[in-house]
Amino acid sequence: MLAHLTAGASLNPVRWMAGVIRCRFDFDRQVAMRLAEHMGATPDETLARYRRVITSTTKPPFPIVDCRTSGYTIFATRW
């Protein structure tokens, strides 16, 4: 979860689009690539990476979609 949040706080629209193109519009592959970038070797390292970007105002170009509920909830702002 923290690696996912860290990736989101590290992506601007240009970097997001570059990743989409690099992964040939395979969004699952792009998410896996971004998670691998931000996952630390240990839980403590992942937490440290998250703490470095926690105040970031950078975001992907679209609203965040949260599918943890029974339906989809779209947030207009970030966490």
Query: Which pLDDT does position 60 carry in this prediction?
Result: 72
| Residues across the chain | 79
The structure's pTM equals: 0.63
Query: Which pLDDT does position 15 carry in this prediction?
Result: 86
Per-residue pLDDT of the chain (79 residues; tens, 9 = 90+): 788 888 888 888 888 889 989 999 998 899 899 889 899 999 999 999 999 988 887 777 765 544 444 444 444 444 4
Q: Which three-class secondary structure state does DSSP give residue 45?
A: helix
| Cβ–Cβ under 8 Å, residues 19 and 7 | no
Query: Which pLDDT does position 16 carry in this prediction?
Result: 86
